[in-house]
């Protein structure tokens, strides 16, 4: 049994509205949330969100000096119940991420960030 389900794919960028507009033209969908720092594009097959990063440096393929900047949000019913399960699998709670609210940030065993979120 899975701990949660894929909720969102989040892409770092300098301008969330512009990038969401680009992808809306590419894959369709509707922009449902936008506050200048975060924009969400919902399609019939899922959602993609775009997160503002002020000092954004784009990835350089195939180089590793500026790696790809993307993370998964995993929807769970209960953060407190899901946390020990992902930790047991090898995740690490990232410093400063256990704040009150509907999400927590972890690193996967290879160091990639991902979030557990509640609805």
**Cα–Cα distances in angstroms (integers) from residue 9 to residues 31, 99, 100, in the given order:** 14, 21, 22
Q: pLDDT digits over 71-100, tens only?
A: 889 999 999 999 999 999 999 999 877 767
**pLDDT value, residue 99:** 66
Q: pLDDT digits over 13-61, tens only?
A: 999 999 999 999 989 999 999 999 999 999 998 999 999 999 998 887 7
- Residue among 14, 3, 12 nearest 108 (CA): 3
Q: Is 26 exposed, middle or buried (0-12, 13-18, 19+ CB in 10 A)?
A: exposed
- CATH 3.50.50.60, domain 5-117, yes or no: no
């Amino acid at each position: 049994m899975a701990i949660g389900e894929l909720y969102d794919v989040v892409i770092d960028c300098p301008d969330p509205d512009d990038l969401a507009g680009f992808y809306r033209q590419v894959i369709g969908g509707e922009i449902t949330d936008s506050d200048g720092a975060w924009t969400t594009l919902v399609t019939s097959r899922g959602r993609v969100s775009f997160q503002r990063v002020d000092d954004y440096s784009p990835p350089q393929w195939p180089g590793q000096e500026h790696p790809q900047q993307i993370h998964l949000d995993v929807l769970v019913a209960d953060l407190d119940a899901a946390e020990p399960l992902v930790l047991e699998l090898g995740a690490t709670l990232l410093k400063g991420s256990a704040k009150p609210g509907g999400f927590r940030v972890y690193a996967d065993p290879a160091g990639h960030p991902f979030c557990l979120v509640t609805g």
